[in-house]
Amino acid sequence: MNSAIPNPFAPQSGLCTLQMAAVPGIPEIHEGDNLPQIIGDCLERAGLHLVDGDVITSAHKIFSKAEGCVVNMADVTPGEEAHRYAAMLNKDPRKVEVILRESRSVVKAFKHPAQREGTMICEHRLGFKSANAAVDESNTGEDGALILLPKDPDASARALRDALSRRFRARIGVAITDTFGRPWRLGQVNVAVGLAGVPATIKEQGNEDAYGRLLSVTEPAFADELAAASGLVIRKAAQTPVVLFRGLDWQETTSSAAHLLRAQKEDMFK
């Protein structure tokens, strides 16, 4: 090995070294559960003590369950519009009704001949555009149940950040995530749907690149990069929704996940 080549993982190298780990031991969550206490206890049992600059990300479903954002389809009566979309898409009309209730509008509804069930691309009541208004049947814990996004994911993130900051006496950030598809690309990635402390984006406009050229449009989606990275260690079947990040360089802000949404007037595909 050439000793002249620095070890990028050595603390003295001066390079950013990121650590991330799924927090083990998160139990099945039920309505009314105290998430800050549960997550804090799991961190301590794993020997993890939060320090200044740490960021916690979590899949939204544990918040949705704790806050009662779960609908049993047996309790849903679909309306005329739901029946119309259900017939077009071969979907359960009760699920369609819940999707419509969670949506500001339906952007596109389609079913390819090879598909068993079609898809509704909707503008969620929070402004996100996603399949089925983020209404999901996976990891609900019971048949016939649908999980919705929390009513106010930013508020949920703030409550967790405030409680864990007090408990561990540390300045931390929190991002709540969900899994979205992306136009023109296969697969899904985690994106931020709720934020506390951490910036939505980092504005590089006005800075220079490595060659001295002025940056005019560069604005990394910091919160979405965090969310996507968390997907590398989250395992849906292993109940590891919470991830701890350490080593990130970020400045505390009052940003919201809504700051990641592109303005309607900039929508080139309407």
**Is-contact 133 122, C-beta < 8 A?**
yes
**Is-contact 50 172, C-beta < 8 A?**
yes
pLDDT averaged per 10 residues in sequence order, the chain, 270 residues = 53 70 94 97 94 96 96 95 96 96 95 90 94 84 88 97 97 96 90 96 67 68 94 81 94 91 77
End-to-end Cα spacing for the chain: 56
The pTM is what? 0.89
Please report the pLDDT score of residue 95 as a whole number. Answer: 96
**Domain definitions of the chain by residue range:** 19-69+150-262, 70-148
Give tens-digit pLDDT for 30-50: 999 999 999 999 999 999 999
Please report the pLDDT score of residue 270 as a whole number. Answer: 66
Residue of 217, 197, 222, 221 lying closest to 207 (CA atoms): 217
CATH superfamily of 70-148: CofE-like domain (3.90.1660.10)
Looking at residue 208, the DSSP 8-state letter turns out to be B
Please report the pLDDT score of residue 115 as a whole number. Answer: 86
Please report the pLDDT score of residue 238 as a whole number. Answer: 67
- CATH 3.40.50.1010, domain 19-69+150-262, yes or no: no
Task: Count Cβ atoms below 10 Å from residue 156 Cβ, excluding itself.
Answer: 26
Rounded CA gap, 58 and 71, in Å?
21
**Beta pairing partners, 185:** 182
Which regions of 114-261 does DSSP assign to beta strands (E)?
119-124, 129-131, 145-147, 173-182, 185-196, 242-246
Please report the pLDDT score of residue 8 as a whole number. Answer: 53
Please report the pLDDT score of residue 114 as a whole number. Answer: 87
Q: Would you report the helix, strand and coil content of the chain in percent, each value rounded to 5?
A: 30, 25, 45
Please report the pLDDT score of residue 194 as a whole number. Answer: 97
Structure tokens at 110: 């389609």
Structure tokens at 219: 């604005």
What's CA 40's distance to the chain center, in Å?
Answer: 20
Rounded CA gap, 182 and 42, in Å?
33
